[in-house]
Amino acid sequence: MTTQSSVLKLHPQTRPPARSIWWQAARRFGRNRMAIVGAVLFTTILIGAFGAPVLARYSYDQASFTEIWKPPSAEHWLGTDKVGRDVFSRLLYGMRTSLIIGFGVQIVVLAVGVILGTVSGMAGGKVDFTLMRVVDVVASFPTLLFAILAMSLLGSGVGNMMLALSISSWVIIAQLTRAQILSLRERDFVLASQSFGAPQSWIIRMHMIPNVIPPLIVSSTLAIPSYIVSEAGLTYLGAGINPPLPSLGQQIQEASVYLLAHPDYMLYTAITLAVLILAIAYIGDGLREALDPRALD
């Protein structure tokens, strides 16, 4: 006679344990070749940018008037500029400045947008109406116009640039967060928590924020290149980072003056900026596909 225990031994549980959303997303991201290429390129750029004090043979402001416009050599891998500064060293430090601005802006945007979007979505009523009208007003003004006005009032500097680009950029995150919160409020697990008397802060911390994170990651990754390009554009127009501190935009501005005589100077900076933007864009596309709810089972 077959006992229950023997049945269990003959027919073991074969169903694999449920995989977490993050594990599934990581696996899907790893299968995306372009995303991996972007991740490798971006990692290389990060190492070069933030390892500049070690990797660069010269300081970004170390000039030598006896070595003006030197061609690439063993001493200066990408040559020198108009005052004899090493172009390769300045590119490394310039990437670091642009990355700090791009990610710094996104951190500020996330902090403001998530807080306001969560408050608006959870509170509803007059609070939601008032905050959304503020969002509509801010969103009606071009981001670059806000940034130019802010830089003219605040002056040059990395911190001022981050603040200037953040002034109107948070509205997209606020709208996205609010939309996610409104959708989650009607989900069964949230209603069940409310019926058991769970406090609002607990629901936000345990249910709302974890489910809002995936779309925020995708949105943030795709937005960072636009901030880097905005910095480059503002600096090119003379409303951004001032020398001697290098940024990719500031180096493009300098190179544009000598474009005909020394096109290689512009070429190095333009290629660096393009590779940086493409690397982050590939990562963003990979994250968007990896975190797609329809692809997660």
Residue 154 confidence (pLDDT): 87
Residue 208 confidence (pLDDT): 84
Number of neighbours of residue 259 by Cβ within 10 angstroms = 12
**Residue of 65, 69, 66 whose CA lies nearest to 87:** 69
Give 20-61 pLDDT, tens digit per residue.
777 888 888 999 999 999 999 999 999 999 999 999 999 999
Q: Is residue 16 part of a domain?
A: no
Q: Is residue 1 part of a domain?
A: no
* Domain CATH for 272: 1.10.3720.10
Residue 6 confidence (pLDDT): 45
Give 277-290 pLDDT, tens digit per residue.
999 999 999 998 88
Give 222-260 pLDDT, tens digit per residue.
899 999 999 988 988 888 888 888 999 889 989 999 999
Residue 10 confidence (pLDDT): 41
Residue 19 confidence (pLDDT): 57
Q: Is residue 234 part of a domain?
A: yes
Contacts of 103 (CB under 8 A, 6+ apart): 224
Whether the per-residue pLDDT at 11 is higher than 70: the answer is no
Q: Is residue 282 part of a domain?
A: yes
Give 157-210 pLDDT, tens digit per residue.
899 999 999 998 999 999 999 999 999 888 888 888 888 888 888 888 888 888
Taking residues 208-218, what's their average pLDDT? 87
Number of neighbours of residue 48 by Cβ within 10 angstroms = 18
- pLDDT-above-90 percentage for the chain: 58
Whether the per-residue pLDDT at 14 is higher than 70: the answer is no
Q: What is the mean pLDDT of the chain?
A: 87
Structural domain boundaries, residue 125: 23-61+72-295
d(CA 89, CA 112): 35
When divided into structural domains, the chain yields a total of 1
3-state secondary structure 79-138: CECCCCCEHHHHHHHHHHHHHHHHHHHHHHHHHHHHHHHHHHHHHCHHHHHHHHHHHHHH
Q: Is residue 281 part of a domain?
A: yes
Q: Is residue 18 part of a domain?
A: no
Q: Is residue 13 part of a domain?
A: no
For residue 191, the surrounding DSSP H or E stretch is helix 188-195
Token pair for 204 = 């936000």
Label residue 18 by pLDDT band (50, 70, 90).
very low
Whether the per-residue pLDDT at 12 is higher than 60: the answer is no
Label residue 295 by pLDDT band (50, 70, 90).
low
3-state secondary structure 198-228: CCHHHHHHHHHHHHHHHHHHHHHHHHHHHHH
Residue 113 confidence (pLDDT): 95
Residue 178 confidence (pLDDT): 94
Residue 294 confidence (pLDDT): 61
Q: Is residue 3 part of a domain?
A: no
The residues facing 86 across adjacent strands are 80
